[in-house]
Structure 1
Amino acid sequence: MRALFLSLAVLTLVSFDSLQYKESDEKEQVNKTLDAWHKAAAEAKFDVYFGMMTEDAIYIGTDPTENWDLKAFQAFAKPYFDKGKAWSFKAIDRNIYFDKSGKLAWFDELLNTQMKICRGSGVLVKIGKEWKVKHYVLSMTIPNDNTNEVVKIIAPIEDVLIQKMQPKR
């Protein structure tokens, strides 16, 4: 009985260790995918960049009007890629999480960009052996102490948008 218990304990530890290794390996793959995706934009590799997104991907940019499906985002981005450099985002911090199946990952990241520090967040899905970006949100960060100054700048523009976008009741 003692040998059976010891065998089960060792098997459980080995299984747990394998599970931890797999999540660590998947985290590394997600990191590599996101880094390669950002690099493809910086190098204006249109097909590579958009090939790393799902066909039903959504991209939400920093402007309140930027909420695109894949085709609309491609149309918006193409002129930038055609100029030889789209945008350059480099992760300076990233957190990655997985669902129980290991086929869905979500993340948040701080990015060094031409707009200074931005925050990206999104969802990736594993298709076959590849991770693909399904949903991405890019936000500019504003230090709390400067919020009132920023609101004064954007209020005239966004008040108009709010009136246009607000549902009529």
Structure 2
Amino acid sequence: MRIDRLFLFLTLSTLLATAPLRAADESAAANAVAAVLDDFHDAADKGDKARYLGHFTEDGVFLGTDDWERWPLPVFRDYVGKRFRDGKGWSYRAVERHVRVAADGETAWFDEIVESPKWGRFRGTGVLLRRGDQWKVAHYALSFLIPNAVGEEVSRLAQAAERQATPE
């Protein structure tokens, strides 16, 4: 009985002693992910193709706001090359961000609200994977934020646009 209590005490002590370390590691990883996302957006703003695309995993995917915009990295490279040709891409600045890191420290996911001077507010969501000592974007999805108060009107406009774009 005494050995069981001692084992329980040692196990709990170890868990309690290492919990702050895990929290600190997760916080450091979340900060590193946030820094990558900030640089990702800065590279796009400056039209820096190499830096922007360098943030993706080799099999990364970017999902744009239109339903057909699923860009695997090889195809996205061409699109970004054309868009960044004049040294300017697109401008998004994060105004809110939430990052979580998996217990193994190798995967992170996030959601953020970003603002564009031209288009307003969007939600970006995605997954980053740790590759060596770097975090890389495996998946980024960008969505328009539509206030519920105008959702029905926006939905009607979107449906009308889809009908015009789709031959019957």
TM-score of the pair, normalised by structure 2 = 0.88
Distance 1:104 1:64, change over 3 A: same
Is residue 2:39 matched to residue 1:36? yes
Give 1:71 deviation, angstroms.
Answer: 1.2
Q: Which moved more, 1:142-151 or 1:11-20?
A: 11-20
1:125 to 107, 123, 129: 129
- Within 1, Cα distance between the matches of 2:81 and 2:137? 18
State the Cα deviation string for residues 16-52 of structure 1 (Å, max 9, x = none): 1111110010010000010011111001110011011
1:53 corresponds to which letter in structure 2? F
SS in 2 for 1:82: coil
User: Structure 1 137/162 Cα, relative in aligned 2: closer, same or farther at 3 Å?
Assistant: farther
Determine the C-alpha separation between the residues in 2 that align with 1:123 and 1:52: 12
**Is the contact between residue 46 and residue 87 of structure 2 (CA under 8 Å) also seen in structure 1?**
yes
Identity percentage of aligned residues: 33
Output one character per residue of 1:32-85: Cα deviation in whole Å (capped at 9) or x when no partner. Answer: 010011111001110011011001001000111111100111111212211211
For residue 160 of structure 1, report the CA deviation from its aligned partner: 5.1
Q: Which moved more, 1:44-53 or 1:144-153?
A: 144-153
**TM-score using structure 1 length:** 0.87
Amino acid at match of 2:155: V
Paired residue total: 164
> What runs of 5+ residues in structure 2 fail to find an aligned partner?
none
Query: Is 1:94 the equivalent of 2:97?
Result: yes
Q: Answer whether contact 2:100 2:109 (CA < 8 A) is retained.
A: yes
Match of 1:107 in 2: 110
Q: Equivalent residue for 1:139?
A: 143
AA paired with 2:47?
A: A
Assess if the C-alpha contact under 8 Å between 2:29 and 2:101 holds in 1.
Answer: no
Per the alignment, residue 28 of structure 2 pairs with 25
Shift of 1:115: 1.1
Read off the aligned partner of 1:48 and give its amino acid letter.
R
Supply the distance in 1 between the matched residues of 2:18 and 2:54 (Cα, whole angstroms).
35
